[in-house]
A and B are shown apart, each in its own frame.
Chain A
Amino acid sequence: MRTEDQGLWLQEQVREALSRAESLYISGSGSKAFLQTAPEAPCRRLSVEGHCGLVEYEPGELVITVRAGTPLARVEALLAEHGQMLAFEPPAFGPTATIGGTLACGLSGPRRPYTGSARDFVLGCRMLNGQGQRLSFGGRVIKNVAGFDVSRLMVGSAGTLGVLLELSLKVLPRPECELTLSFDGTAEEALLRMSEWGRAAWPLSALVHDGERILMRLSGSERALQAAHRQLGGEALPMASTFWHDWREQRLAWFQDETPLWRLSLAPTCPLPALPGTWRIDWGGSLRWFKTHASPEDIFLAMARVGGHARHFRGGSVSLRHQPLPVPLQALQQRLRTAFDPYGVFRVNPALNQILT
């Protein structure tokens, strides 16, 4: 694994930008640039990609510490060599994705409802705040409640609070076996059946509806999976790992067009909102992928009615990408941002800006 410590150089860049009152746009490889709106000029890109390499990995501890610019694929390959994995199953959206970018975007894959989200696996981080101070939060141990949980706050903050330098992540053993079962059913039926399955202790590791059928992934020992299969029924899906990879990376045909794609987070059995468009169901019902030309306002309204929220993910061009927050919470987020970046060195991408200002 390539190793280079550019921590000091990155710190200099932030300090320099601070002294020149310039703005920086923190970036990994740019694999998830579609989540952001193009940077506004004048704004310099600060690439964390070169700050890479393994800092510490003791498989017996279930903890890995890596520099933020390390390619996600390298981290996953190293873990796989030791029979371990990042259990939040992050989508990479391209071969160049970095671990820092992965956490900064805070995306989790289909395993998320059953093992935990990206932020659930973050144990600690080193970072630069907007004053160029090098800070360390959390640690390399599984349990740690000393100080505010800044490391988890950083997950999903999309480079608006600071430059991630190093991340300590909890990892899990890879399951001994996996089995994917396929069941016929409409999306409406899927929501009900997913809820029923979720109430029993099946060794679930993914539960999705791909438009035509329900796909259930089970993880565990071979005996346990055979026993579960006998009781649950369903058809075993061949080439399942390809399916899950393509699902997670949005390589399936349904994801491949320019209709705006929205990501909706809501209660697992919440009925599909009455909006025109097509759906895919993920996370056992808690996450819905929605392809629609409906207006952002209509989507936000429908979500607000059911206590969920929506965000534009990719495709097309929409006037608003994030559901507006209530005013007091919006103000709090702005103050939090100021707490980390009082002089506004880190450019807030306009998409996030809708939340923050």
Chain B
Amino acid sequence: MTTRDDLKRLARCLPTGALLTSVEEMRPYECDGFSPCRRLPRAVALPENEQQVQAVLKFCHQARIPVVPRGAGTGLSGGALPVEEGIVLSLARLNRIIAIDPVDRCARVQPGVRNLAISEAAAPYGLHYAPDPSSQLACTIGGNVAENSGGVHCLKYGLTTHNLLELRWISADGEVMTVGGTGLEGPGYDVLALLTGSEGLLGVIVEIVVRLLPIPPHARVLLASFETIETAGAAVAGIIAAGIVPAGLELMDNASIRATEAFVGAGYPVDAAAIILCELDGLTEQVETDLERVRAVLAAQGALSVRVSHDEAERRRFWAGRKAAFPAVGRIAPDYYCMDGTIPRRHLAVVLRRIGELAAAHGLAVANVFHAGDGNLHPLILFDANQPGQLEQAEALGGRILETCIAVGGTITGEHGVGVEKINSMCLQFGHDELLQFHAVRQAFDPDGLLNPGKAIPTLNRCAEFGAMHVHGGQTLYPDLEHF
């Protein structure tokens, strides 16, 4: 129970006005990008530096107050959803770029720095920070670390976890620690890897050193259209099988193409069943060689048309549609629910067909736009929350889609995280013993379970109540999916 007295003492850890306790002030913090779930915390703390974060954590540890860390709140799985008796710890005010080091090609930043701001600061040196989630204008690097965010370019340049050198973080009891180092590896167990993607359950990150990479001197995008989504899926597999690692390889279906065209006019062929965007980057000579090889694959896979960007403006225009796809879909339906399963690429065509069948059975439409090169699907389930029962239908459909992903050897989340959204699906993906092991790991970091409770790792009780059976080795509730 968080008392008034607790809040008074908490306020003393912070500058004046940096502890929000009124409903109006806390309203913006009641949810993140996963808007169906909303809840008000007891307070929102807005520390400005590491010492204040530490003071807040020490106090909450001593008073047994749950803490929900939060970046920009752009997460899509409810990872920053407040807990009733707890506080939200916003890292947004720790927003300084401490140093850009062009010589050692790294940036030392605070967690509240926006993802894109790092690349902007590094650009004068010809460098950039590679992971680029679609929310990169707004999302913070601290949030990226917590979620192990991906993005359009992670096929070639990796996820957040591949682009970190060092993390400075504070444990639930207020101990400041540093893992990794300015070299490429740190001593002891790889705690840096474990913290990355731990969704705020293991510690609060207060400083991050990211790797910076040279901006590729040359980049071109191919835009290919297809008569069916299956042939587009086969073309994606064909490009990878040809030994090419594109900088980005994205697929959009007709519903997404139409929505984006109406929204930004990127010049996509609205009659195509699907399009592929394939970006190649590097030295000019390398890009030109790869371009010819990709053209050959696309032709062999029966592409209806192939366009290649001729200059930077055209390249950006090709991408503009993809980057605006989510808001564009947001315009054609009152609500949408974004899924995030990942599957082995060879099952793309069959899973996409299955999603279509499931959607029809639930009486809902789905738009598909996703990181095809990674096999990371983002089916957007369209619905209207004001129509009774539609939210429940959308959630049910989402659950079925994730079961399909698991059934073909995939995963329930490729980059958006588990949060509260997919906590039940975790019971499908992992068995009893794995969940116990996760809880043991958590206990090693936070024995009282004060950091972001109720997220990411379900309790065994919850799984029992959910009634889920672990889908093991493809043995699922849906045996007809086994032969996928």
Contacts and interface: CB of A to CB of B under 8 A. Distances in A.
Contact of B177 (A63, A113, A135, A329): A329
B440 to A, nearest CB: 4
B245 A145 contact: no
Given A149-B196, A329-B188, A339 B409 contact: no
A269 interface: yes
A283 B183 CA distance: 10
A148 B438 contact: yes
B430 A147 contact: yes
Given A141-B409, A145-B414, A199 B105 contact: yes
23 contacts: A60-B346, A113-B184, A139-B342, A139-B410, A142-B374, A142-B376, A144-B411, A146-B411, A146-B429, A150-B194, A157-B189, A195-B105, A221-B285, A264-B183, A265-B183, A265-B185, A286-B184, A287-B183, A328-B171, A335-B443, A336-B444, A338-B444, A339-B437
B437 A143 contact: no
Interface stretch (A44-52, A68-76, A223-231): A223-231
Contacts of A60: 237, 240-241, 345-346
B356 interface: no
A279 to B, nearest CB: 15
Interface in B334-390: 342-346, 371, 374-376
A119 interface: yes
Interface residues of A, number: 87
Contacts of B177: 326, 328-329, 332
Contacts of A63: 344
Contacts of B240: 60-62
Most buried by A among B288, B426, B444: B444
B216 A119 contact: no
Given A224-B286, A286-B184, A336-B441, A153 B409 contact: no
Interface of A: 58-63, 83-84, 106, 112-113, 116-117, 119-120, 129, 133-137, 139-150, 152-153, 155-157, 161, 172-174, 176, 195, 198-203, 220-221, 223-224, 226-228, 264-270, 283, 286-287, 307-309, 311, 322-323, 325-326, 328-330, 332-333, 335-336, 338-340, 342, 355
B189 A265 contact: no
Contacts of B15: none
A325 B187 CA distance: 8
A152 B154 CA distance: 18
B349 to A, nearest CB: 13
A143 B197 contact: no
Contact of A143 (B290, B414, B434): B414
Contact of A199 (B127, B182, B433): B127
B415 interface: yes
Contacts of B442: 148
Contact of B375 (A106, A142, A203, A335): A142
Given A117-B185, A203-B282, A153 B126 contact: no
Given A144-B413, A335-B445, 17 more contacts: A61-B240, A112-B184, A134-B433, A141-B410, A143-B342, A148-B194, A150-B437, A152-B194, A156-B185, A195-B104, A199-B214, A228-B283, A266-B181, A307-B181, A311-B187, A333-B189, A339-B444
Contact of A227 (B198, B283, B411): B283
A96 B435 CA distance: 35
Contacts of B194: 148-150, 152-153
B412 interface: yes
B147 interface: yes
Contacts of B193: 119, 149, 152-153, 155
A233 to B, nearest CB: 16
A309 B166 CA distance: 13
Interface residues of B, number: 96
B217 interface: yes
Residue of B106, B176, B241, B288 contacting most chain A CB atoms (<10 Å): B241
A333 B444 CA distance: 9
Nearest to B184: A286
B153 interface: no
Task: Determine which residue in A135, A287, A328 has the highest number of CB atoms from chain B within 10 A of its CB, and name it.
Answer: A135
Give 8 closest A-B pairs by Cβ, nearest first.
A265-B183, A173-B243, A224-B286, A152-B193, A143-B414, A335-B444, A339-B440, A267-B182
B186 interface: yes
Interface in B385-439: 409-418, 422, 426, 429-431, 433-434, 436-438
A269 B104 contact: yes
A74 B161 CA distance: 29
B245 A173 contact: yes
Contacts of A84: 243
A113 B175 CA distance: 31
Nearest to A325: B188
Contacts of B414: 141, 143-145
Contacts of B445: 332, 335
Scoring B214, B282, B286, B343 by chain A CB atoms within 10 A of each residue's CB, the highest score goes to B286
B190 interface: yes
B126 to A, nearest CB: 6
B285 A286 contact: no
A52 to B, nearest CB: 20
B122 to A, nearest CB: 11
Contact of B415 (A62, A143, A338, A339): A143
Interface string B81-98: 000000000000000000
Contact of B418 (A136, A145, A264, A355): A145
A148 B195 CA distance: 8
B54 interface: no
B182 A307 contact: yes
